[in-house]
Amino acid sequence: MKLTLPRPFGAQQKFLEADARYVAYGGSRGGGKSFAVRMKAILLCMNYPRIRVLIIRRTYPEVYENHIKELTVQTAGAAVYRDSDKSLTFKNGSRIKFGYCASDSDLTQYQGVEYDVIFMDEATQFTEYQFRFISASIRGANDFPKRFYLTCNPGGPGHGWVKRLFVDKKYKDGEDPRDYVFIRAGVHDNLPLLSTDRAYLGALENLPDDLRRAWLDGDWDVFAGQYFPEFSRERHTVEPFVIPSHWRRYRAFDYGLDMLAVLWAAVDEEGVIYVYRELCEPELIVSEAARAIVTLSDGERFEDTAAPPDMWNRQKDTGKSMAEIFRENGLILSRANNDRIQGWMQIKELLASDKGVRIFSTCTELIRCLPALLRDPKDPCDASTVPHDITHICDAFRYLAMERTRKSNTRKEVSWEEEHRKKTIERCRRGAVRR
């Protein structure tokens, strides 16, 4: 059995040679990703008799147009395609199955099915749950390579998890960094395309700035549906330096049992905000959260510490508010302005200004999550609350922006007793007016 395959170029060759458990290939549009998938699948089937391969895209029409039509031509004489089960079987018994997953309900077709190698084409169109569910199908008692290949461009519902694993390389417990390899692909790697359609490169170069950065440059910090396309690592991040003692300092945080997200910031003589420290820590009770903030703030003086308004809600079991527990543990809070849209607009203003905000490169979670924040599909003026794991640090930044830009930064904590007294007086006044 012999086939003549086109010659791979540049990043495509690196993709074909990669042998990590998870290999992602992508970046800009026109990088020859689908070509690389087809070539790798053919080589695996030719070299490993009876290997089982899955190529999956979001919808069946996509997998048909991008892979089935092309592979049936490329493998003519060496393999036979059966439409009844959407598979391409080689003479040596190797088999490529073609699948789709438009929603979670489609996942049941992969339950209990074993594959040696899976290709997820346009992986950013899948959720992380779908990726994890499908990757569980890679298994088998044989010596074949067990690998998961992904192709991807910036953007889409899966942008965040793909970027976390392969670009930012931020791993959770149980994820081995050695298992994840990212190979950047650009349109300049696709020599056949450039030789036959130079106008395509020109079209990418003439796109609006945000789309050009994503589709031509493969910039993972900008994509369609992004809430803060203004963010730029080159412009808004700086290397750490010693904060002058006379700069005014602020803190802001978002708190829940799932995550404490805190930001420390200082303002220079020209009004530029420098976010110089962050803390993201899950599963801390209130007193532990307070002590963690106080410990990291040792020796510093702060103008204010902004916290979400629900911190002043009294707890049924103790009658105390979380703000009171923070105070008992050495942290006096100010009630943050929780106007979401106004807060996001303040951040946009800071990002747009030459003297707005700079973020220390050590604040990796804010740098990762801020550009990953999506627009709310139901309210384009607001940011989406999903994926939830990236919103905590962004909310802390929103509180910080609102605290820094409101007219007075001198308002301190008002105890619930004082609030109760004021409300009682106001109710009496309203009653007197009614009488």
Q: What angle do CA 357, 359, 360 make, to 5 degrees?
A: 145
Q: How far apart are CA 352 and CA 205, in angstroms?
A: 23
State the CB neighbour count (10 A cutoff) for residue 235.
Answer: 12
Q: From first to last of its 435 residues, what are the pLDDT tens digits of the chain?
A: 677 777 887 888 999 999 999 999 987 766 688 889 999 999 999 999 999 999 999 999 999 999 999 999 999 999 999 999 999 999 999 999 999 999 999 999 999 999 999 999 999 999 999 999 999 999 988 999 999 999 998 888 788 899 999 999 999 899 999 999 999 987 766 666 666 666 777 777 777 776 777 777 778 888 778 899 899 999 999 999 999 999 999 999 999 989 999 999 999 999 999 999 999 999 999 999 999 999 999 999 999 999 999 999 998 777 899 999 999 999 999 999 999 999 999 999 999 999 999 999 999 999 999 998 989 988 989 999 988 889 999 999 999 999 876 633 344 444 444 454 455 545 544 543 343
Q: How far apart are CA 377 and CA 7, in angstroms?
A: 43
Q: Tell me 400's DSSP state.
A: H
On whether the CB atoms of residues 261 and 245 are closer than 8 A, the answer is: no
Q: Residue type at 141?
A: A
Q: pTM for the whole thing? A: 0.71
Residue with tokens 């103008």: 303
Q: How far apart are CA 77 and CA 90, in angstroms?
A: 9
349-357's contacts with Cβ under 8 Å and 24+ in sequence apart are 349/405, 350/273, 350/401, 351/228, 351/230, 351/231, 351/236, 352/230, 355/270, 355/271, 355/272, 356/272, 356/273, 357/236, 357/272, 357/273, 357/274, 357/275
Which candidate, 294, 264, 258, 260, places its Cα nearest to that of 276? 264
Q: Domains in the chain and their CATH numbers?
A: 11-215 (3.40.50.300), 233-417 (3.30.420.280)
Q: How far apart are CA 123 and CA 130, in angstroms?
A: 10
